[in-house]
Amino acid sequence: MEKKMICIMCPMGCELLVTKNGNDISVTGNSCGRGVIFAKEEMTCPKRIVTTSVKTEKGVKSCKTTIPIPKSLIFDCVKEIEKLRLKDAKFGDIIIKNVLNTGADVIITAN
């Protein structure tokens, strides 16, 4: 199976050609090693940073996961954040530690 994708690991945006044959994955078109890592992860367990907002008594604040989480858990992560009603929060505060046992924390990204 062959799949084309654009690497999102740096501003170069390399066009990758990923070939999967059983458990073997080969990658061409990358300018650096990060492209290979990205392509292999994208083919086996794609992950993304979750960015959303959380309600506080003083309004809505933006937040995100500190590291990418599996795409399959994005909606569950957002549901966990939607459950929160914070008194207040400031930039950098951890509002959920180890969300969904992913190793990612959810932090406030703006004051």
Residue 102 shares a structural domain with residue 67: yes
Residue 14 shares a structural domain with residue 38: yes
- The rounded distance, in Å, linking the Cα atoms of 106 and 89 is 12
**Given a cut of 90, is residue 65 above it in pLDDT?**
yes
Number of domains in the chain: 2
> Alpha carbon 42 to chain centroid distance?
11
CATH number for the domain spanning 72: value is 3.10.530.10
Q: Per-residue pLDDT tens for 32-53? A: 999 999 999 999 999 999 999 9
Residue 78 shares a structural domain with residue 61: yes
Per the structure, the complete domain to which residue 82 belongs is given by 51-108
Residue 61 shares a structural domain with residue 103: yes
Residue 14 shares a structural domain with residue 31: yes
Q: Per-residue pLDDT tens for 70-86? A: 999 999 999 999 999 99
Per-residue model confidence (pLDDT) at position 111 = 86
- The rounded distance, in Å, linking the Cα atoms of 51 and 49 is 6
